[in-house]
Amino acid sequence: MSSFSVFRSLAPRLGARYSSHVAVRQKTLTDIKKLYNAKEPLAVITAHDYITGRIADSSEKLDIILIGDSLAMVSKGYASTLEIPFDDYYYACKSVLRGVNQKFVIADLPFGSFEASVSQCVESAVKLMKLGKIGSLKVEGGFEHGEQIKRLIEIGIPVTGHIGLKPQQFNAVGGYRVQGRKAQDAANIIKEAEYLRDIGCSMLLLECIPHKVAQYLTEKLDIPTIGIGSGPGTSAQVLVQADLLGMLDSPTAKFVQKYMDFHSEAVNAIEHYVEDVKSGTFPNVETHSYPIKEEEFEAMEKLLQQDH
Ligand SMILES: Nc1nc(=O)c2c([nH]1)NC[C@@H]1CN(c3ccc(C(=O)N[C@@H](CCC(=O)O)C(=O)O)cc3)CN21
Ligand SMILES: CC(C)C(=O)C(=O)O
Ligand SMILES: [Mg+2]
């Protein structure tokens, strides 16, 4: 088969939501609730572009993909999640979703797209939901965004709450600090969690709160909790894909477990490639090049001679 026909035969399958061989159905909130009710620990990772979307969607065991606004820092290089324009985040979501066929997807509402009013929030939420494939929107906040969250739920958008450390509000709390270490702060987090559950949030993300507070909350609530930096007592765990794969050469937070050093491996592989180019061992005539028949080459030379 020529390489062109290989591409032609793969293209329809790569783009298809339903493979011709196995019927692939994207996971729904009902599927997630079933796993939660069966007390199955759930695993979540972020995806920030088409490549990381394909990687996450290809893991058989992964339960949920989060399109996190952390993509502002990880994939676009901004110093905080506050800086990314809505449209840039929106295009990144489109890229991720082109690569996702199977997993349940939660997407963040980015900073500046929902705080001003309920109507601003609905407008941003509707834009994202119109992309298809998103099963829940995550709103970073609790009491302060209650009206917005209630309206999204009323119009049929499942909302994931996000309390504890709220990176979109890092300026107000003096940086990326663990939240709820003092009795009053911990009690406020519990009250905020109960409020979000009461107004109808489907799930609740707990970021950087003490392990015992997260476990207490998870046992008290009847909705799944997704923890990051909040210990083993939550219903689900989430990590930023770039953190767990070691894709960046910057230090990570204490809660990160690195499962590979992608950055170093990638740089090593590139050094290897450059060495091969410089030593002339890549490309190889037999395996990496395309031949022309000797008679065609000779005919070409004759044609060129006639032109003179
Ligand atoms: N790559 C990446 N991973 C993330 O998990 C992440 C982002 N980016 N960007 C958005 C937010 C910011 N996050 C962060 C960033 C740093 C810490 C951190 O360094 N925490 C301190 C805790 C200090 C304390 O004791 O209060 C640490 O030492 O781990 C925590 C969460 C989580 N999110
Ligand atoms: C860190 C997780 C919880 C998140 O919200 C993100 O990736 O944006
Ligand atoms: Mg986020």
Q: What is the C-alpha separation between 166 and 113, in angstroms, rounded?
A: 15
**pLDDT tens by residue, 216-259:** 999 999 999 999 999 999 999 999 999 999 999 999 999 999 99
306 Cα–ligand 2 center, Å: 67
Read off the pLDDT band of 2 (50, 70, 90): very low
Average pLDDT over residues 9-19: 48
167 Cα–ligand 1 center, Å: 8
pLDDT at 13 over 60: no
69 Cα–ligand 3 center, Å: 4
Q: In the prediction, which pLDDT does 9 show?
A: 47
Q: In the prediction, which pLDDT does 235 show?
A: 98
Q: In the prediction, which pLDDT does 22 show?
A: 66
Q: The pTM is what?
A: 0.93
When the pLDDT of each residue in the chain is averaged and rounded to a whole number, the result is 94
The answer to whether the CB of 47 falls within 8 A of the CB of 55 is: yes
Nearest to 64, CA basis, from 197, 195, 224, 177: 224
Top mutation candidate among 238, 243, 252, 256 for ligand 2, by most atoms within 8 Å of CB: 238
Q: Whose CA is nearest to atom 33 of ligand 1?
A: 70
Q: Whose CA is nearest to atom 5 of ligand 2?
A: 68
- Catalytic one among 192, 207, 271, 301? 207
pLDDT at 170 over 90: yes
Ligand 1 atom with minimal separation from the 170 CA:
12
What is each CA distance from 10 to 17, 96, 288, in whole angstroms? 13, 19, 21
Q: In the prediction, which pLDDT does 23 show?
A: 75
144: annotated active-site residue = no
Please name the residues in contact with 35: beta carbons below 8 A apart, sequence gap of 6 or more: 42, 63
Q: In the prediction, which pLDDT does 5 show?
A: 45
Q: Report DSSP state, residue 207.
A: E
**pLDDT tens by residue, 173-189:** 999 999 999 999 999 99
Read off the pLDDT band of 297 (50, 70, 90): very high
Read off the pLDDT band of 25 (50, 70, 90): very high
Q: In the prediction, which pLDDT does 307 show?
A: 74
**pLDDT tens by residue, 43-82:** 999 999 999 999 999 999 999 999 999 999 999 999 999 9
67 Cα–ligand 1 center, Å: 17
Ligand 2 atom with minimal separation from the 69 CA:
8
